[in-house]
Each structure stands twice: as C-alpha cells, then as structure tokens.
C-alpha cells in the first residue's frame, strides 16, 4: 500500500473512492466548495439538511456522485475544530478506511483533513491502521488495503512520517495477533533481530544458557513449564553522543499465559496470546524511532517466555531468586509477568539509564479500575510520568496515573522470602504489582504502564479491527521525536 501527497485537480482526477472529512466549519473549506460546485450544490444541500453529518466519525456513502470522477464518495465527520479531541483525526481516518477496505480498491483519495503536523500524522497512521485486519490466516479477508492512499493538502514529509507511524503500529498489531504456535520466545526474538538489519541497531539475544549464567531466576522460573526455551533480547540504538545516558524501554513478552497452576478459565485464556503486547509495543516504538533517527540513545529489553503447566512448572509456595539477588515467594503463578519484568528491569540498570519505562499487560485490576481504553501509569518520578501523559494526551491516547503510596509496599512483604508476587487480597492489584516492580529499579526515574485494557480488543471498533491495537506506539514515538 502506497501513501502519497496529492496536488492535482480534485474534481477532474479519477479515483476509486474519495473520502471527505467535514467539520462544523465546512462552509470555509475551499476543497468542499470545488466538490459542491461540481455536484451542482448537492453536498451543501445534504449537509444543511443533515443527511450528511459533521459529528465525529459519522459517515455517509454516496455511490458515483454526478460531477465527480469517483466510484464512491464517503464523508466522515470531524466535529468542531475548537472542541475536537486529539484522537478525532486518527480515528476518523481509520474509520473511513475501514469502511472502504471492505473490498479491494485502487486509489483512495482523502481530503478535508487540515491541522497541526501531529494531528495530520495521526490521520495518516490511523488510515493505515483502519484498513488492516486481524485475519492473518483467512483465505477470504475481511479487510483489504487499497493500492494507494492519496492525501490532499498534506506535504510529502508529513505523509511519510505518518506512514512510518502507521507501519510501526501495524507491526506491533501483527505480532500481537499472531497465534502462539507461530509466535513463541524464539520466533519473537527472531522478529526483534530483524530490526538489527539497520546498521544503527545492535541486537543481543540471551538464550537459556546465558540466562542461567546471568542468574535470571525469576524469568527462568516462569519459563520452566514450557518446552519452548525463554529468551531475553536487548536492542541498542545511539542517536545521541555516546556519553548521554539512554532511555530504556522494557517489555513483558509472555507469548502465551495459561496462568500456570493458578490456571485461567477457558474464556480468560483464549486471548492470552496477547500477553506479549508489552514486548511488541517496545519493538514497534524502536522500529519507528530508528526510522525517524531520533536524537536519543535508546535501549530496548524484552523478556520472552511461555507460562504453561508441566511436571517442572513453578508452583505456589516456591521461592525464586531474581537476578538482583532478591528472593520472591510465589503466591500466584498467574502473576508471572512481574517476575519476567523483575529480571528485565535489573538488566536495564546495567545500561546506566537516565530513565526507564516498562510496558505490560500486567493486571486485570487495572482494567477494573480504569476500563478497557485507559492505560495505567505508576511511577517513582512524577516528572517522567507527566511527560508521558502529556505526550499521550497530545496524541489522543488515554492514560491515567494511579497512586503509589508506601503502604502498598507493605502488602508485598514476604514471610519466608524478601517479597511475594501478589498483594493482600483482591484490592489494589495494579498498584501492588507496580510496587513489586519498583523493587527492581533502584532510584532510577521509572514509569510502569499497565496496558492490559487497551492493548487488545475483544470485538472490533469502528476505527480498528478486533485484536491488537498498537496502543502507545505513536505516543512514545512522538515523545522521543520531540
């Protein structure tokens, strides 16, 4: 699928589909004036009679409108410029392309999207997300990418920046959507290695032997139940001077989570291929950051395991020794992601980082507290957390800070080991999980992001098919680029 800027005659140039974005100030649009004149006033009449709506994401299809060289005109509402949410452009473009992608198309031309570089990049990336589905193995696809998307009024640099974002989000989505018999620790490590084809990225993979030598007892404990060997992958990118401390991105990569002996019910286990979404998010961010040549030193660390049941699987009551030397009582084998991250965070400290951020589908408790569209932020450094939230707000991705009071630490105190891997009872589970992770970051500025809600859609949305979403890839690429 190509994406390009378009500056030829909007009325005379033929296309398969014309997407027209309309906000409440549509009467000021020169492009709409041209299209309205070509249709003998039809568009203006339909808008004024509210047959066509400017409300956000409301769409109307007109087949082969007289006067225009297109087989289909699709209007999509953009709302009021003054009160527009930051995600309207990306979602409107995605929703429009998702409708158009119901069948094979050639040229799709998009007009009516005007605004800041941030919002326009969001529109381009959103369009690329909207026309790509989760149906990786279906012979008959439910969504088809058009051959080309042309953007009226956007310069080529903006379009190509949006393409990088869109490709990186879809890369993350594809990894999350791959079934666990295709994507497991070894093959996900291979996906990470592909980023090393760029000379600016160095990739290091730790196999089981290296993990044992490094004393990664927490990660290895989770991996014991599977015949698939675990991996830990480190990617390094230098976009600044060698003496500048890096930002470290850490991702949870549990490629399938049965819950272990604390086994999940069938309904809860069916989508647990998505428990590696944190690792996929990190790889998506790195992919885009490298292409943008961001002026930061970055290190990405992903811990890759399967959490399964066997005669050697870790058990409730076991004590594991993490790489840091801290001992951990296992009170729930379904609280495994924090064990994987514990060793990854300790490896992150070896990189002498300026700051750390980790991404993880960590707790159902975060979904209970914040719903399914909001990622939880927990931190030991409010300035770093605020920087992340500001970038997310600008991109229209939802995050919200959760408290990290000292009494949550008391709830993970162990009786026979230093700490235990769950808190006391069912309450505050997102925060006690974060407090567990905080035990492994020393005094480095660190923010934990629980993406359990928005990382995976059980059912489709107007702007995205079901499955992986690529949440926060765009936020962090924009943050690092600026």
Q: Where are the domains of the chain?
A: 2-154, 172-481
Would you call 105 helix, strand, or coil by DSSP?
coil
Residues 6+ apart with CB under 8 A from 368: none
The domain defined by 2-154 folds into 3.40.220
Per DSSP, the three-state class of 241 is coil
The model's pTM: 0.98
- β-pairing verdict for 247-257 and 231-238: unpaired
CATH number of 172-481: 3.40.630.10
338 contact partners, CB below 8 Å, separation of at least 6: 360, 362, 421, 433, 436, 437
Which of 415-420's residues contact partners 24+ apart within 8 Å by CB, and which partners? Answer: 415/329, 416/319, 416/329, 417/319, 417/327, 417/328, 417/329, 418/326, 418/327, 418/328, 419/326, 419/327, 419/328, 419/329, 420/328, 420/329, 420/330, 420/331
Catalytically active residues, by annotation: 264, 338
pLDDT in tens, the chain (482 residues): 999 999 999 999 999 999 999 999 999 999 999 999 999 999 999 999 999 999 999 999 999 999 999 999 999 999 999 888 889 999 999 999 999 999 999 999 999 999 999 999 999 999 999 999 999 999 999 999 999 999 999 999 999 999 999 999 999 999 999 999 999 999 999 999 999 999 999 999 999 999 999 999 999 999 999 999 999 999 999 999 999 999 999 999 999 999 999 999 999 999 999 999 999 999 999 999 999 999 999 999 999 999 999 999 999 999 999 999 999 999 999 999 999 999 999 999 999 999 999 999 999 999 999 999 999 999 999 999 999 999 999 999 999 999 999 999 999 999 999 999 999 988 999 999 999 999 999 999 999 999 999 999 999 999 999 999 999 999 999 999 98
Q: Is 23 helix (H, G, I), strand (E, B) or coil?
A: strand
Residue ranges of the alpha helices (H) in 293-381? 337-349, 364-370
Q: DSSP string spanning 285-307? A: HHHHHHHHT-SSEEEEEEEEEEE
Report whether 22 contacts 77 (CB < 8 A): yes
């Amino acid at each position: 699928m190509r994406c390009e800027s378009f500056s030829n005659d909007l009325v005379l140039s033929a296309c398969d589909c014309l997407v027209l974005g309309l906000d409440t100030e549509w009467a000021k649009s020169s492009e709409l004036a041209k299209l309205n004149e070509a249709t003998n006033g039809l568009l203006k009449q339909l808008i004024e009679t509210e047959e066509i709506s400017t409300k956000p994401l409301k769409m109307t299809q007109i087949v082969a409108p007289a006067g225009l060289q297109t087989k289909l005109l699709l209007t999509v509402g953009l709302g009021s410029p003054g009160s527009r949410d930051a995600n309207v452009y990306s979602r409107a473009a995605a929703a429009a392309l998702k409708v158009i992608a119901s069948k094979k198309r050639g040229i799709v031309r998009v007009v009516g999207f005007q605004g800041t570089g941030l919002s326009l990049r969001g529109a381009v990336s959103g369009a690329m997300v909207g026309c790509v589905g989760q149906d990786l193995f279906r012979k008959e696809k439910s969504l088809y990418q058009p051959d080309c998307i042309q953007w009226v009024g956007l310069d080529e640099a903006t379009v190509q920046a949006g393409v990088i974002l869109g490709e990186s989000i879809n890369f993350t989505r594809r990894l999350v959507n791959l079934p666990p018999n295709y994507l497991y620790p070894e093959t996900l490590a291979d996906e990470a290695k592909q980023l090393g084809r760029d000379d600016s990225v160095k990739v290091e993979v730790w196999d089981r032997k290296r993990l044992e030598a490094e004393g990664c007892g927490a990660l290895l404990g989770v991996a014991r139940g599977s015949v698939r060997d675990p991996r830990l992958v480190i990617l390094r990118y230098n976009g600044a001077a060698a003496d500048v401390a890096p930002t470290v991105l850490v991702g949870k990569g549990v490629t399938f989570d049965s819950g272990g002996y604390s086994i999940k019910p069938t309904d809860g286990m069916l989508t647990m291929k998505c428990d590696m979404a944190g690792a996929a998010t990190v790889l998506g961010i790195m992919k885009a950051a490298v292409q943008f040549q961001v002026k930061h030193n970055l290190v990405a660390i992903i811990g890759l395991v399967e959490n399964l049941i066997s005669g050697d699987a870790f058990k409730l009551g076991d004590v594991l020794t993490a790489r840091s030397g801290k001992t951990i009582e296992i009170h729930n084998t379904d609280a495994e992601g924090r064990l994987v991250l514990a060793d990854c965070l300790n490896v992150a400290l070896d990189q002498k980082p300026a700051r750390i951020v980790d991404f993880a589908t960590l707790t159902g408790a975060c979904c209970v507290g914040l719903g399914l569209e909001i990622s939880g932020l927990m931190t030991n450094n409010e300035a770093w957390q605020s920087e992340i939230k500001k970038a997310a707000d600008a991109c229209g991705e939802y995050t919200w800070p959760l408290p990290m009071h000292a009494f949550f630490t008391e709830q993970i105190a162990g009786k026979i080991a230093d700490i235990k891997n769950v808190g006391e009872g069912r309450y505050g589970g997102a925060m006690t999980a974060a407090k567990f992770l905080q035990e492994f970051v020393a005094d480095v500025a660190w923010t934990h992001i629980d993406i359990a809600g928005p990382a995976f859609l059980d059912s489709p949305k107007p702007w995205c098919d079901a499955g992986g979403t690529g949440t926060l890839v765009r936020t962090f690429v924009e943050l690092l680029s600026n």
